[in-house]
Structure formats: structure tokens, C-alpha cells
């Protein structure tokens, strides 16, 4: 009787398991079919690491066509994973998304429009930091600057993305959720590729997916409200979301390489999931890259007070020390620009560039330093090429004392005079924003943002080592972006003109 009583119980337990396994097999099969339609196969990749600057230049500039595909996005299809600019395969859709970003947000004609947003963000940072300093129990107590800096930069980027009418409460909630998703994505994005892995680690996957769900529920109403304001002519400055609402991309059903894929009749608006993914990408990338550069630069200014003094003197000399930092003014502050470039050389926002190629494509590199293609029948096995851009910026054949922080090398007469954030077509000495077709299109905006925040922080505050004897830890933390492993702690004192 007991055995008979167990049968219904076992059936009750077995049926859900069998259903889940069947669903897993079905979804994994669909995933394999989707991947099979990609230009590159999903065979386990052979990794090839490249550090030589000359080979990197030949790859990204001379042979850009052969080295244009990035590895498949870790985001699954139903998270809009194929519609972020950094993950969509090279082709018509990529060109549409990237072209929209350049024309709609990062074009030089829009820089003046951003000035009021920049001013408000910097004023908020200075006010918040001043309040934190005033509230210290001891005047020598160290301050952790990253939280203040991140909040100010994120507010600026959120208003560029969602419009200057976005509410402060929504911005704070977005900052928290975007940060949570970035942290979770680094840890758990590997689960996206297999339903079996998601079932095995279901708690991690539930946490991962719930954050994206919360982010979607927060972003979509903001987009809808933005659309209503724009229709009534009360939207304020044109923002990234406005451009996404107007954008049309090639249909997935159309062959990406065909002429039909670029005709108006085969284009469609972005889906809600795709827009959420693009907004997440914009908020995350444009915030963390600026925060990272400013924090690293401040760390070196604390370690090298003589550099900080030179920078402060340059910023405060003349009658325009409170002007906004434009691209033109940044060029008139050569030491500030040199300090930013030296910081970017040592601590790039992203330390690795990945490309998927067929093995035989490595042969087009030729010359010294080029890696040999892996042995393969027919040379068609996919290869993941890893460019260690961090080592390019510290290559001893290109730089004297490459591990030293020395802004003077970028000044007139220095050995790096003329080297800028954009990789040159004839020689690559540093790659803070990539090179070739995939270079970061917001270079000028990013440099202005970094310069603007640094100008205010050095003009209004003096930065020094903590009195508790702790030194500055320059250990790097590698993830999506290269941050300081230990957030900067410094003794921050208001300058005399603020007292």
C-alpha cells in the first residue's frame, strides 16, 4: 500500500522535471539554430592574444573588414541582447544604431546644448562634496569620492539620455538599478547562453533577470512620458531616447547583407526591450568611463602633489577660471589635457578588445609580431583575438618609463607631443577609446566631461593623502570597466576662495 501511495507523489514530482528538461532542450535547440545563422560559428574558440602596437594597427585600421566582428553578446535574445551597439554584429543594424548615436547625441554641433546640463552636474558635485566635508567629525578625516562623483556623472548622463525633464527620484532609482545590473551581469551573464545552466543556478538567474525586469519597468514609463512631451512640444533638449523613438532599423527577417535590408520598406521601429537595452548601455558606459578616468587622475594627483599644484595654477590663471570646459578651452589648458591623457594611457576604461575572426584571416596581418594562425583544417575555425590595449599603452618600445605618471610627456616638446585620445592612422601608441570602425564615437564629449569635473575638483579643493597613514592603492579591478579596486580615499580641503 505504501508503494502504491508513492506512485502519485513520484508522478507529481517527475512531471515538472520532465517538462523543464523538455523546455530546456527546445530552447537550447533554438539557441543553436539562432547562432547557426550568425556569420561566425559557436565552436569553442581558440584565443590569440596580441600586444604589439604595430600588429594592432594593421588589424583595426589596415584590415578593418576582416576584424570587425565582436564575440556574441552574453545577453540572451529575449533581453534585447542583439541590439546594443557593442554587441550587435557588424552590418546594417550596427551602422544604423551607431550612426544614430553619432548624429543624435555626440555630434559637435550639440556640444553647446549640453553646457547647462554639465554646469548643473558639476555644481551638484561641488555642493555635495562640500557638504560631506563640512559634516566630518574631524577636519582630517578622509573622504571617499567615488559615490559623490558617480552620482553627479550619472545625473548628467541620464539627462542626456532621457531628457532634462527626468525627475531626480527616477534618476536615483535608475542609478541604483543600473549599478546592480552591471555587477550582476559580470558575475552571472554566462548563464544567459544555456537554459540548462539557468535551471541549475536558478537563484542567480532569477536575481539577474529580476533586476533587468525592474529596470524595464522603470525605463519604459519614462520613455512613454518623454514621447508625450515631445509630441506636445514640451520635451526640452533633444535627448538620446528621442533619437531612438525616431530610429528605424533593418528587419531581422531581411538578409543583413542584401540590398533589401537597407530599404525603407524593410525597416522597423525598435522594440521596447531593445530600447531598454540601448538605454542601459548608454547609461552604464558613459557614466563609468568618465568616473573611472576622473578617479584615477585624482589618485595620481594625490600621489604627486607637484602635478596637482601645476594643474591648479593653470586652471586658476587668467580671468576665465570659472568658464565651462569646451573642446576649445581644453586645448588652451595643455597641462589639464596632458594629465587626462596620461591617466588614460595608464588606466584605460576598457583593458581588452575582442574580435572574432576565421583562422585564415590572421594571415592577412603578416609582418613581425603577428600571431600564427592555429592549425586547422581549411582555416575556417573561429578564433577569438584578444587585444591587450593596456599593454599597448605601456609598451617600452613606444614609451619612456611607461609605468610612471608623467603628464609632461604630452606637452609641446615632449616625446608624446601630438598623441591624443584618438588612435592615429599611421601609428598606435595608446587606445583609450578603441580604433578603427569600433572606436568610441563620444571621445570629444567624454574628454570634455572629464576635463570639466577635474577642473572643478582641483579648482575648489586640495587633495592630499589621508593622515591615517594609508597610501593610495593603485590596484586595478577588471570587469566591464577598469576601476580602482579600492575606491580613492583622500583628505579633501576646500580652497581659500570657497571659505
273: CATH? 1.10.630.10
Radius of gyration of the chain (CA): 25
pLDDT above 70 as % of the chain: 73
Q: How confident is the model at residue 155 (pLDDT cuts 50, 70, 90)?
A: very high
State the number of CA atoms in the 13 A half-sphere of 482 facing the CB. Answer: 21
Q: Is the pLDDT of residue 192 over 60?
A: no
Q: Is the pLDDT of residue 173 over 90?
A: yes
Q: Pinpoint the alpha helices (H) of 72-201.
A: 92-101, 115-134, 146-162, 168-188, 195-200
| 88 and 31 in a common domain | no
| 338 and 328 in a common domain | yes
Q: Is the pLDDT of residue 228 over 60?
A: yes
> Cell 595620481 belongs to which residue?
300
| 297 and 283 in a common domain | yes
Name which residue leads in pLDDT, 63 or 225. 225
Three-state DSSP state, 388:
strand
Q: Is the pLDDT of residue 345 over 90?
A: yes
| 160 and 289 in a common domain | yes
pLDDT at 181: 77
Q: Across the strands, what pairs with 383?
A: 46, 357
Name which residue leads in pLDDT, 132 or 155. 155
pLDDT at 430: 93
The H-or-E segment that residue 383 falls in is strand 382-388
C-beta contacts of 122-128 below 8 A and 24+ residues apart: 122/152, 122/452, 122/453, 122/456, 124/151, 124/152, 124/155, 125/149, 125/151, 125/152, 125/453, 125/456, 125/457, 126/456, 126/457, 126/460, 128/152
| 21 and 120 in a common domain | no
pLDDT at 425: 77
pLDDT above 90 as % of the chain: 41
Instruction: Find the mean pLDDT for residues 441-456.
Output: 93
Q: How confident is the model at residue 62 (pLDDT cuts 50, 70, 90)?
A: confident
| 179 and 53 in a common domain | yes
C-alpha cell at position 100: 544614430
| 240 and 344 in a common domain | yes
Instruction: Find the mean pLDDT for residues 158-176.
Output: 93
In this structure, what DSSP letter does residue 375 have?
P
Alpha-carbon gap, residue 291 to 470, rounded angstroms? 22
| 82 and 28 in a common domain | no
| 223 and 132 in a common domain | yes
> Cell 578603427 belongs to which residue?
436
What does the angle CA 124 – CA 125 – CA 129 come to, to the nearest 5 degrees?
A: 115
Q: How confident is the model at residue 480 (pLDDT cuts 50, 70, 90)?
A: confident
Beta-carbon count within 10 A of 87 CB? 18
Measured on CA atoms in the order 385, 390, 392, 397, is the torsion positive or negative? negative
Alpha-carbon gap, residue 344 to 122, rounded angstroms? 21
Q: Is the pLDDT of residue 373 over 60?
A: no
| 117 and 28 in a common domain | no
Alpha-carbon gap, residue 463 to 489, rounded angstroms? 10
Alpha-carbon gap, residue 480 to 82, rounded angstroms? 17
| 254 and 132 in a common domain | yes
User: Are the C-beta atoms of residues 125 and 105 closer than 8 Å to each other?
Assistant: no
Alpha-carbon gap, residue 122 to 133, rounded angstroms? 16
- Please tell me the least confidently modeled range out of 54-63, 151-160, 173-182, 249-258: 249-258
Alpha-carbon gap, residue 340 to 185, rounded angstroms? 29
The H-or-E segment that residue 380 falls in is none
Q: Is the pLDDT of residue 356 over 90?
A: no
CB-count burial class (<10 Å; 0-12, 13-18, 19+) for 436:
buried
- Please tell me the least confidently modeled range out of 11-20, 294-303, 414-423, 425-434: 11-20
Q: Is the pLDDT of residue 60 over 90?
A: no
pLDDT at 312: 95
User: Which residue, 245, 186, 183, 237, is CA-closest to 220?
Assistant: 245
| 319 and 239 in a common domain | yes
CB-count burial class (<10 Å; 0-12, 13-18, 19+) for 44:
exposed
> Cell 580615499 belongs to which residue?
489
Distances (CA, A) of 232 to 103, 113, 228, 235: 23, 20, 6, 8
Residue 400 domain boundaries: 38-498
Query: How many domains would you assign to the chain?
Result: 2
Q: How confident is the model at residue 415 (pLDDT cuts 50, 70, 90)?
A: very high
Q: How confident is the model at residue 478 (pLDDT cuts 50, 70, 90)?
A: confident
C-alpha cell at position 449: 566631461
User: Which residue, 279, 247, 234, is CA-closest to 103?
Assistant: 247
Q: What is the pTM of this model?
A: 0.83
The residues near 83 (Cβ < 8 Å, ≥ 6 apart) are 93, 97, 249, 270, 271, 273, 274, 277, 278
C-alpha cell at position 197: 545552466
Amino acid at each position: 500500500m505504501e508503494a502504491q501511495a508513492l506512485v502519485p507523489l513520484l508522478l507529481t514530482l517527475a512531471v515538472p522535471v520532465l517538462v523543464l528538461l523538455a523546455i530546456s532542450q527546445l530552447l537550447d535547440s533554438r539557441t543553436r539554430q539562432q547562432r547557426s545563422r550568425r556569420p561566425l560559428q559557436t565552436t569553442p574558440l581558440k584565443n590569440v592574444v596580441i600586444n604589439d602596437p604595430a600588429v594592432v594597427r594593421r588589424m583595426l585600421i589596415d584590415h578593418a573588414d576582416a576584424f570587425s566582428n565582436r564575440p556574441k553578446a552574453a545577453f540572451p535574445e529575449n533581453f534585447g541582447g542583439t541590439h546594443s551597439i557593442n554587441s550587435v554584429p557588424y552590418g546594417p543594424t550596427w551602422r544604423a544604431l551607431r550612426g544614430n548615436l553619432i548624429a543624435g547625441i555626440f555630434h559637435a554641433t550639440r556640444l553647446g546644448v549640453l553646457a547647462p546640463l554639465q554646469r548643473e552636474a558639476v555644481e551638484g558635485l561641488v555642493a555635495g562634496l562640500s557638504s560631506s566635508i563640512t559634516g566630518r567629525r574631524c577636519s582630517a578625516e578622509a573622504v571617499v569620492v567615488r559615490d559623490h562623483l558617480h552620482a553627479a556623472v550619472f545625473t548628467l548622463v541620464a539627462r542626456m539620455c532621457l531628457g532634462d525633464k527626468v525627475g531626480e527620484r527616477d534618476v536615483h532609482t535608475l542609478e541604483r538599478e543600473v549599478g546592480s545590473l552591471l555587477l550582476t551581469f559580470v558575475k552571472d551573464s554566462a548563464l544567459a547562453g544555456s537554459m540548462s545552466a539557468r535551471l541549475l543556478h536558478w537563484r542567480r538567474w532569477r536575481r539577474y533577470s529580476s533586476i533587468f525586469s525592474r529596470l524595464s519597468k522603470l525605463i519604459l514609463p519614462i520613455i512613454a512620458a518623454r514621447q508625450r512631451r515631445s509630441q506636445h512640444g514640451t520635451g526640452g533638449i533633444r535627448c538620446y531616447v528621442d533619437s531612438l523613438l525616431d530610429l528605424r532599423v533593418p528587419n531581422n527577417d531581411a538578409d543583413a547583407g542584401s540590398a533589401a535590408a537597407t530599404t525603407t520598406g524593410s525597416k522597423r521601429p525598435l522594440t521596447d526591450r531593445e530600447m531598454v537595452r540601448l538605454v542601459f548601455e548608454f547609461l552604464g558606459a558613459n557614466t563609468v568611463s568618465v568616473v573611472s578616468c576622473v578617479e584615477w587622475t585624482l589618485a595620481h594627483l594625490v600621489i604627486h602633489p607637484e602635478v596637482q599644484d601645476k594643474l591648479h595654477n593653470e586652471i586658476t590663471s587668467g580671468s576665465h577660471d570659472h568658464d565651462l570646459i569646451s573642446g576649445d578651452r581644453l586645448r588652451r589648458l595643455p597641462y589639464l589635457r596632458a594629465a587626462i591623457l596620461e591617466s588614460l594611457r595608464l588606466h584605460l576604461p576598457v583593458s581588452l578588445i575582442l574580435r572574432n575572426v576565421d583562422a585564415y584571416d590572421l594571415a592577412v596581418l603578416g609582418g613581425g609580431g603577428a600571431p600564427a594562425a592555429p592549425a586547422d583544417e581549411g582555416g575556417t575555425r573561429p578564433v577569438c583575438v584578444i587585444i591587450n590595449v593596456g599593454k599597448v599603452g605601456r609598451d617600452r618600445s613606444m614609451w619612456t618609463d611607461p609605468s610612471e605618471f608623467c603628464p609632461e610627456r604630452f606637452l609641446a616638446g615632449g616625446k608624446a607631443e601630438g598623441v591624443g585620445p584618438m588612435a592615429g592612422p599611421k601609428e598606435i601608441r595608446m587606445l583609450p577609446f578603441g580604433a578603427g570602425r569600433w572606436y568610441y564615437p563620444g571621445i570629444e564629449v567624454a574628454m570634455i566631461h572629464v576635463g570639466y569635473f577635474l577642473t572643478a575638483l582641483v579648482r575648489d579643493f586640495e587633495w592630499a593623502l589621508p593622515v591615517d597613514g594609508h597610501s593610495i592603492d593603485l590596484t586595478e579591478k577588471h570587469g566591464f570597466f577598469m576601476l580602482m579596486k579600492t575606491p580613492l580615499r583622500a583628505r579633501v580641503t576646500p580652497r581659500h576662495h570657497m571659505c
